[in-house]
Every structure is written in C-alpha cells, then in structure tokens.
C-alpha cells in the first residue's frame, strides 16, 4: 500500500482501515468521508472579494471564498488548517451531547493528536489545554486551538492568498 500512494495518504488510509476494522458497520459513514461537492455559491463581486484582504473571517464565511482559499491552501499543502477551522465551526453548532462527544473525538483524532492524519500546527500548551477541555466536551473545547489556527492563517496564509493567481482571478 505504501508503495502505491504518497506516504501521508497511505498513513491516512491505514489509519482509517485500522479504525474500520475495530468499529461496527454503522460507523462507516463517519470513517470514510464523502467527496466534497463544489460550492453552489455565486462568484463574489470583485468588491466583495477585495474585502477579504482585510478580513479572514469574511473570507471564511463566504462559501465561494472558503472554497477558493481551501484550493489555495491545498496547493501549499496546508489545507488542514481550513479543514480544522470548518470542523470546529460545525462542532460549535452541535447541540446533542452524544454527537458533540463523537465529533470531538473525530476532530481530536484527525487534527490534534500527535501524528494525526491532518495534524495542525499548534503549540504544546494549546494542545494540552485542548486535551484537558475534551475530558468533558463543550461548545468551547476547541476555542483556543481554533483561534491559534485562525491567527496562523491570518498572518501567513491570507497574505500569500491575496497575492496569488487564485485571488487575482476573483478581483478581475
């Protein structure tokens, strides 16, 4: 398997296969993600896209902007940051304690734990606080880590994005 796929993709598949072998069939949809559908959002006006230079929040809240930013991050091999941010936003909207615990575990295993398939770059202190928060999952369990990743994207990725061809196509 490792010879056929790039190492991190192979690792992700091995992890998912291992998880699949340990879980009942009812959880297969949680383990194998469906392909992401392209956004049905309209292309923003150049004026709207220009606002994204100043506000990562506006960019991430716009479905077309988020999809464009994720494509850009994918080209830089750092898409996990946007994926983590989106997963945290979805997690915060979860009302059921059972679903919240399931999503918390999935986010932890996919993005936070050491050697996670899509491990985000957070400092040891933030990781420790997040792990402590997950003892009793709440809507704020990932807040510190999400803020760190947001700041990283705002400081590093956003400036490169607004200089990129992806962005320049939007503001034409």
Q: Are 87 and 110 in contact (CB under 8 A)?
A: yes
pLDDT tier at 99 (50, 70, 90 boundaries)?
very high
In this prediction, residue 12 carries a pLDDT of 55
pTM listed for this prediction: 0.74
Q: Which CATH superfamily is domain 46-169 in?
A: Regulator of G-protein Signalling 4, domain 2 (1.10.167.10)
In this prediction, residue 57 carries a pLDDT of 95
User: Average pLDDT of 132-153?
Assistant: 97
User: Average pLDDT of 85-110?
Assistant: 96
Cα distances (Å, whole numbers) of residue 159 to 6, 37, 44, 52, 149: 29, 27, 19, 10, 15
Q: In 33-121, which residue ranges form alpha helices assigned H by DSSP?
A: 46-51, 56-61, 63-75, 79-92, 97-107
Q: Where are the domains of the chain?
A: 46-169
38 pLDDT higher than 80: no
CA distance 98 to 94: 9
137 pLDDT higher than 50: yes
């Amino acid at each position: 398997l490792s010879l056929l796929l790039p190492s991190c993709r192979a690792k992700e598949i091995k992890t998912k296969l291992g998880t699949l072998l340990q879980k009942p069939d009812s959880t297969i949809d949680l383990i194998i993600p469906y392909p992401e559908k392209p956004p049905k959002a309209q292309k923003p006006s150049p004026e709207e896209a220009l606002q994204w230079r100043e506000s990562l929040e506006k960019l991430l809240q716009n479905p077309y902007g988020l999809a464009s930013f994720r494509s850009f991050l994918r080209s830089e091999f750092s898409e996990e940051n946007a994926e983590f941010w989106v997963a945290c936003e979805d997690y915060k909207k979860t009302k059921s304690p059972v679903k919240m615990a399931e999503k918390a575990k999935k986010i932890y295993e996919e993005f936070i734990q050491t050697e996670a398939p899509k491990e985000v770059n957070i400092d040891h202190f933030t990781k420790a606080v997040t792990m402590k928060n997950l003892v009793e999952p709440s809507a704020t369990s990932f807040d510190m880590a999400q803020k760190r990743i947001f700041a990283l994207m705002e400081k590093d990725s956003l400036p490169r994005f607004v200089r990129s061809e992806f962005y320049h196509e939007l503001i034409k």
